[in-house]
Amino acid sequence: MCRNIRPLFNFEPPATEAEIRASALQFVRKVSGFAKPSQANAEAFERAVDEVAEAARNLISSLHSAVPPRDRETEAQKARERSRLRFG
């Protein structure tokens, strides 16, 4: 999975616009095969990023959860520990 595409729902504090956009950008890069599109494709690429970000925003805002939001710092600490165990 792409490194910037992470779960964004049910966190405290909620996902920021920058996090949503970074995930959308990474998704469009993966799907298109372009890390940086040519000038001929730049407009379509940016439009796709905007549309994916909007879809993600709409999805996140319409979801509901019965469990309390997860703490970002706690989840980040767990990820660091997993990385430490995996890579030493």
51-81 residue pLDDT tens: 999 999 999 999 999 999 999 899 889 989 9
Nearest alpha carbon to residue 35 among 24, 44, 25, 43: 25
pLDDT at residue number 2: 60
What is residue 5's predicted lDDT score, i.e. its pLDDT? 73
Distance CA 46, CA 36 (A): 10
Instruction: List, for residues 30-58, the tens digit of each pLDDT value.
Output: 999 999 999 999 999 999 999 999 999 99
Average pLDDT of the residues in 15-36:
94
pTM above 0.95, yes or no: no
Every domain of the chain and the residues it spans: 11-87
